[in-house]
Structure 1
Amino acid sequence: MSFTLQPIRVATGFDEEGMMVLDEEQRLVAVLVRLSDENEVAPGQWYLEAGFGRIDGTSHPIFSNLDMAQDWISQRVAKGS
């Protein structure tokens, strides 16, 4: 499954660099936020701020890069197919 990543600012109060993740039908499936380099837990990594549909849930993982995030999202979407 392929996704379109679209940069967006996210009003989290501290980490604003974000990416909207759109599926092949251009539906919003997730919003990722890049944690700042000053973040004490996972500097520079990507956090699942919000998920929709099969991505929605209590799990909000952190990914070292956008490819890993897309792989994780793809696995969740595929489970519903």
Structure 2
Amino acid sequence: MITFQAIPILIDGHDTQGQLVLADGELTAVLARLDGDAHDPKLKGWWHLEAGFGRCDAAKSLVVFKTFEEAGPWVQARLDNVYSLRQANG
């Protein structure tokens, strides 16, 4: 089950809204709300994947979500891919 936990994050010298993304209680990703002046105005208010762990690591990609809840299916799909590969390989 994917759940979220609100947490403030210090980015660019100011606090912003953050969300820890948990899969069955394990940390899989950290999201930050793009609300600073340095961000593209088209993405203001969207959520950026600041850090992903394991299959949710997307360090070389720009991953954003319009709402933090949209990250849930993305995380689940990444994890399901791993689990289905493990089952296929025994």
Q: TM-score range by the shorter chain?
A: 0.7 to 0.9
One-letter code aligned to 2:3: T
Return structure 1 stretches of 4+ with deviation > 6 angstroms.
none
Q: CA RMSD in A?
A: 1.7
Aligned residues: 79
Larger strand share, 1 or 2: 2
What TM-score comes out, normalization by structure 1 length? 0.84
Task: Give the structure 1 partner of residue 70 of structure 2.
Answer: 68
**Percent of paired sites with the same residue:** 35
SS across alignment from 1:59: coil
One-letter code aligned to 1:27: E
Deviation, 1:15, is: 5.8
One-letter code aligned to 2:17: E
Q: Which has the larger radius of gyration?
A: 2
CA contact (8 A) 1:18 1:31 kept: yes
- 1:12-27 → structure 2 map (5 Å cutoff): 12-13=11-12, 14=14, 16-24=16-24, 26-27=25-26
Deviation, 1:67, is: 2.5
Closer/same/farther in 2, CA of residues 48 and 15 from structure 1, 3 Å limit: farther
Larger helix share, 1 or 2: 2
